[in-house]
Structure 1
Amino acid sequence: MNAVIRNYVPADFDALIDIQRECFPPPFPSELWWTKEQLASHVRLFPEGAICVEAGGTLVGSMTALIVRYDPAEAVHTWAETTGEGSISTHDPSGDTLYIVDVSVRPAYRSYGFGKAMAFAMYHLVVERRLARLLGGGRMSGYHRYADTMTAEEYAAAVVAGRLKDPVITFLLRCGRTPVRVAPNYLDDEESRNYALLMEWKNPFLRP
């Protein structure tokens, strides 16, 4: 299948919103799907961090990022405050961290490695920009199945150790991301009970 990773543009907005509908069905809140206003903000403020995958002439996935200044010792943050409610109005070109806002791949196209390819495109951007790391909060979307018997920290540890599989966290581990800590009240998401696992990829080429 012929495929290309490129920056998304206004002509892609309808397809990008359709991808969100497919990737995040109920009980995920539909108000967290992209709007055209948010997508326009991504393209305006940081077009390099707005990428998509086009395969066989169809838009099948997207990933969005912004640059922030991150202190590893800071208190746990939320998705909304870090991303400006998804608008990336908090983008700081002088920051040190590429922060992942979202990644989506249509379910029918998840066996082709497109999500991993977009992740590696973002790692390339980290290296190119000489940033310290890539960081993002991974939804623990399988946690609702274990929430009555395990804490979020226990669940995250089991997934990282390979004893359990989580649709999002296991994928991010395979992409080379490493865990930082569990973040409570990160995102309004019933499946993850509002928890996320902060995960990073450190720039191996950046000298202190």
Structure 2
Amino acid sequence: MGGTTGRTPGRLHKAFYTFAPDGSPRKTVIRTYGEADFDELIRIQSECFPPPFPEELWWNKEQLSNHIRLFPEGALCVEVEGRLAGSMTGLRVRFDPSRPEHTWAEITDEGYIRNHDPEGETLYIVDISVSPEYRKLGLGKWLMQSMYEVTVQLGAKRLLGGGRMSGYHLVADRMTPEAYLTEVLAGREKDPVLTFLLRCGRTPVAVAHGYLEDEESRNNAVLMEWRNPFVPEE
């Protein structure tokens, strides 16, 4: 269907070196995560989303079990010198660009991904998290690149996900979310999440109002995609 082959890539495992701010190389591995990683993945969530972020919104083992059972190719983690440092999770969905409205909870099944569609033409990002200790190594960009590779291997049309407008609260009293996005794209505003995604090659599709409960973004997000260059646009 529409550029989706339904083929399944093998489990990912690639090793390379990243470099710390002092220039020292760090042996790094991106691979598919498994049950033995669950405790460490939950630890990373606690480090990325400390209180007052509610603990019940961190990954739980039922969600993680679903990730590796329903769509293991979209369950990626990164190790640095043998220690788990981050993760990225996706699922496949059918997405109609003419009707982009949805919430994070709706499209990800609140992170349980029981709505994963093996024939979905869109690889949708559920979450990306990198432990603060490792955020100067470029791991988020490496994880994103790896998920682009999964998108290509699957023959999916696009990678898509909602980026929090994490800096919007600073200007919310004087501009709309759409105006804020325009300012970010013009380089007059920098947003920690949106600017990162732009640097990873993602492009905006639409502003999603009420996407998730988040005070910093005033519940807004920007749907941002990466198109598979090997699948022609219809």
With normalisation by structure 1, the TM-score equals: 0.97
Determine helix, strand or coil for the equivalent of 2:31: strand
Deviations 1:137-187 (A, max 9, x none): 001111111111211111111112211111111110000000011101101
Q: Where in structure 2 are the equivalents of 1:88-103 lying within 5 Å?
A: 88-103=113-128
Of the candidates 111, 115, 123, which is equivalent to residue 136 of structure 2? 111
Of the candidates 15, 29, 46, which is equivalent to residue 4 of structure 1? 29
Q: Where in structure 2 are the equivalents of 1:40-189 lying within 5 Å?
A: 40-189=65-214
Amino acid at match of 2:180: Y
Amino acid at match of 1:107: P
Moved more, 161-170 or 131-140: 161-170
Aligned residues, how many? 208
RMSD value, Cα: 1.1
CA separation of 1:136 and 1:151: change in aligned 2, threshold 3 A: same
* 8 Å contact from structure 2 (residues 32, 72) kept in 1: yes
CA distance in 1 between counterparts of 2:159 and 2:52 reads: 28
* 8 Å contact from structure 1 (residues 132, 203) kept in 2: yes
* 8 Å contact from structure 2 (residues 100, 206) kept in 1: no
Structure 2 residue runs of 5 or longer lacking an equivalent are 1-25
Q: Where in structure 2 are the equivalents of 1:24-35 lying within 5 Å?
A: 24-35=49-60
- The equivalent residue for 1:13 is 38
- Compute the displacement of 1:196 (Å): 0.5
* 8 Å contact from structure 1 (residues 138, 198) kept in 2: yes
CA distance in 2 between counterparts of 1:105 and 1:10 reads: 19
Amino acid at match of 1:152: P
Structure 1 residue runs of 5 or longer lacking an equivalent are none
CA distance in 1 between counterparts of 2:118 and 2:194 reads: 28
Amino acid at match of 1:52: C
Amino acid at match of 1:156: L
* 8 Å contact from structure 2 (residues 78, 87) kept in 1: yes
Percent of pairs with identical residues = 65
